Amino acid sequence: MKIVLNLLFVIIAVGLTYLLIETIRKPIVFEETREEREEVVKERLLQSVEMQKMYKDLTGQYASNFDSLKYVLTNDTFFMEVVLGDKYDTTQTVTIDTIAVLAKDSLNNYLLKNAKGESVDAFFAKMRKIPFNTEGKEFYIYSGKAIVEGTDSLYAPTFEIGTTLDKYLMEFDSASYVIYDPLYDPKRQIIRVGDLNKPSTAGNW
């Protein structure tokens, strides 16, 4: 009987030790995983900002979907003015030429510097996907226009690209992890760049 009781006490002690370790480990894993994944998501979103800026330079507005974003940046042309001569020197004749620059050339330069020389197809396929999402979900993307602050009728183009937290923290449901972060609501909390309601290209973090 004594041996049985001792064995039972050992099992209980091991169980309590496991629960204690899990109590300590679980919030640490949650926070570390959340931070690591959010850095990747932020990087992906900031890349989309650069693409939207290039798109706006070409079209005067922002893209409302990733297919349009890719098509314009691989098929359209920038037209740039080049000043020949010193416009402040009255003894010189100054001429202004307009030169055409393929958008794809600018895009390839960006990819070479910021995306390890990925191909255009690979870059856009990755940029639109939400990292760590096992279902292949994509970031939402919208475009619109909003009134410029301080004016009554001047509108500027806007865009917004983002996702809810649950799309890249799929295994961390709110019911189990809200005790570690009372504000944690992954189905409602959004990480994004841009803002449909005001001209901005910044992130909300």
- The residue among 84, 77, 82 whose CA lies nearest residue 100 is 77
**Residue 113 within a domain:** no
Q: What is the pLDDT of residue 8?
A: 57
Q: Please give the backbone phi and psi of residue 156, each rounded to the nearest 5 degrees, phi first.
A: -130, 150
Boundaries of domain holding 65: 44-74+118-194
- Which two three-digit tokens encode residue 119? 């191909």
Give 174's contacts (C-beta < 8 A, 6+ positions apart).
184, 185, 186, 187
Total Cβ atoms within 10 A of residue 5: 9
Q: Is 192 exposed, middle or buried (0-12, 13-18, 19+ CB in 10 A)?
A: buried
DSSP 105-140: HHHHHHHHHHSTT--HHHHHHHHTBPTT-TT--B-E
Q: What is the mean pLDDT of each run of 10 residues along the chain (205 residues)?
A: 59 52 68 94 97 95 97 85 68 71 89 89 96 97 94 93 96 81 91 96 96
**Residue 144 within a domain:** yes
Q: What is the pLDDT of residue 173?
A: 80
Q: What is the pLDDT of residue 20?
A: 47
Indicate the number of domains in the chain: 1
**Residue 112 within a domain:** no
* Pairing label, strands 140-147, 190-194: unpaired
